[in-house]
Amino acid sequence: MNTEEAMTLHLYNSLGRAKSEFVPLNSSDVKVYVCGPTVYSDIHIGNARPIIVFDVLVRLLRYFFPHVTYVRNITDVDDKILARAKELGEPIDVLTARTVHQFHQDIGQLGALEPDFEPRATQHISQMVEMIRQLVDRGFAYVAEQHVMFHVPSAPDYGLLSGRSRDEMIAGARVEPAPYKKDPADFVLWKPSSNGEMGWDSPWGRGRPGWHIECSAMSVEYLGADFDIHGGGEDLIFPHHENEIAQSCCANPNASFARVWLHNGYLQSEGAKMSKSLDNFYTVKELLGTEQRKRMWRGEAIRLMMLGTHYRKAIDFRMEGLEVSKKKLDRWYRASQTFGKPSEAMPSDEFMAAVCDDLNTPLAIAVLDAMCGKILAGEEADNDCVRKFVAGAEMLGLLQYNFSEWFQGVSSESESGENEEIEALIRERSLAKRREDFKTADTIRQKLEKRGVIVEDKSGGKTVWRWRT
């Protein structure tokens, strides 16, 4: 076994609030469930973060284990969807179909792998009804005024994931008091649908599922009652994931549901909570470019910026950060082409040590950036080093374009203007050398070096330049 294979993966489990070695239930098939989008609008940059984080996790798991079953759901029945469809005056299925299509386009540009299964809530109503029936039969849920409610006091371990007190849980649930509730903390499993609303027949009347039961039913359907990892944003810990645990364990008393819970931190934009009124609300579609707006950024620049902050920490998304990420990727693509894009290889030990330490992508990026600098400087310009560099970048879902495709992309306006200035200075220097005005040529070189530009004179009178790494 080589050094890379001997490394162990450590993950921070929100359930126990500790980092430990990840040991799957079955090393031949690691099972992962991640909460996907509620498809009432285009995803914003906050929605993009878990997509990117758990995509890296799955890539890493597939490095260690022969098979990983990755499930990411789509919530296509929800009060937000009904409200949005009514606002737009269009059928719900038209709204969700369009939004799902855009979601797939957006995350494709972000370099996200396709999950093995992408179940939709509306296609699994029968499984939800069956799980609710089990909960009612076993005394964990009750029927009241056409609602089916989960009775929180019946679940002795409720609150273990979030660590909240009973008062905090009641306040945090943010639900209106209802006279039919036996306890203020009780939550909806099934609710009635009014005339004209989306609904399905059930033993409790025509209605639709509550949000929480959807993920419980779909995860059990594709992964079983026990599986390895459940992921999602920090905002889902309570009440969504807390409720998932309660209803899943009560419906399957001999199972423990998900063994490891991973949560990414919050995201703010330009130093504040995202808000359209503050003009700091960005959808992924807008950043990638729309028909109304000039294409701005490759998905890889967004991805690299996101991975530059540890997944459990809060991140402040700033537009200038995309500029930095774009320039960093320019250098990485140049380094990857030192010997032409190499074939498959293993990442370096230092890189693997970083990602195996609870997905420490900032450290992994720093390792790759150091390798890139040495390659471009000619200090490590051998094919093995380039292979390890590219392998590490690809594990992060980067360097997915070929060299020419990447540099054919549209740069930002500021970068394009700066490049034009540099090219003009290069031409001026070349003319000075032809006149044998070496003093002027040296002055221009020094001016460029102060700007971080390295000038290289090649045979045949050709001059090339690159940014200092």
The pLDDT tens digits for 106-115 are 999 999 999 9
CATH number for the domain including 172? 3.40.50.620
pLDDT band (50, 70, 90) for residue 413: very low
Shared domain check, 223 and 82: yes
Does residue 313 sit in the same domain as residue 422? no
- Does residue 291 have a pLDDT over 60? no
The torsion angles phi and psi of 16, rounded to 5 degrees, stand at -105, -5
Q: Are residues 224 and 84 in the same domain?
A: yes
Show which of 355, 389, 407 is a domain's final residue: 407
Instruction: Give pLDDT, residue 409.
Output: 53
Contact 296, 266 (CB under 8 A): no
Looking at the fold, whether 279 and 385 belong to one and the same domain comes out as: yes
pLDDT-derived band at 226 (thresholds 50, 70, 90) equals very high
Is 199 within 8 Å of 226 (Cβ atoms)? no
User: Pick from 264, 295, 320: which residue ends a domain?
Assistant: 264
Q: Are the C-beta atoms of residues 121 and 73 closer than 8 Å to each other?
A: yes
Residues 308 and 358 in one domain: yes
Domain count, the chain: 3
Contact assessment for residue 117 and residue 71, using Cβ atoms and an 8 Å cutoff: yes
In a domain, 5, yes or no: no
Pick from 75-84, 127-136, 415-424: least confident: 415-424
Does 201 map to a domain? Answer: yes
- Are residues 258 and 288 located together in one domain of the fold? no
Residue 402's pLDDT band (boundaries 50, 70, 90)? confident
Range of the domain at 329: 268-407
Helix, strand, coil % in the chain, rounded to nearest 5? 50, 15, 35
4 belongs to a structural domain:
no
pLDDT of residue 2 exceeding 50: no
Same domain, 153 and 165: yes
- Give 397: exposed, middle or buried? Use CB within 10 Å, 0-12, 13-18, 19+: buried
Q: What is the predicted pLDDT for the residue at 417?
A: 57
Q: For residue 430, is it within any domain?
A: yes
Q: Is the pLDDT of residue 169 over 80?
A: no
Mean of per-residue pLDDT scores for the chain: 89
Q: Tell whether 17 is covered by a domain.
A: no
Verify that 217 and 290 share a domain, yes or no: no
Instruction: Specify whether 324 is located in the same domain as 344.
Output: yes
Residue 176 included in any domain: yes
Clarify whether residues 76 and 110 are in a common domain: yes
Using DSSP, state whether 300 is helix, strand or coil.
helix
Whether residues 348 and 245 fall in one domain: no
User: Is the bond preceding 239 in cis, omega lying within 30 degrees of 0?
Assistant: yes
pLDDT band at 410 (very low <50, low <70, confident <90, very high): very low
pLDDT tens-digit readout, 358-381: 999 999 999 999 999 999 888 876
Q: Which of 223, 222, 219 is nearest to 232 (CA)?
A: 219
Last residue of a domain, one of 362, 392, 407: 407
How sure is the predictor about 340, in pLDDT bands with cuts at 50, 70 and 90? low
Give percent above pLDDT 70 in the chain.
90
Mean pLDDT (whole number) for 258-281: 91
Residues 238, 217 share a domain: yes
- Residue 14: name the closest of 311, 212, 438 by CA: 311
pTM assigned to the model: 0.85
| Phi, psi for residue 94 in degrees, rounded to 5 | -70, -45
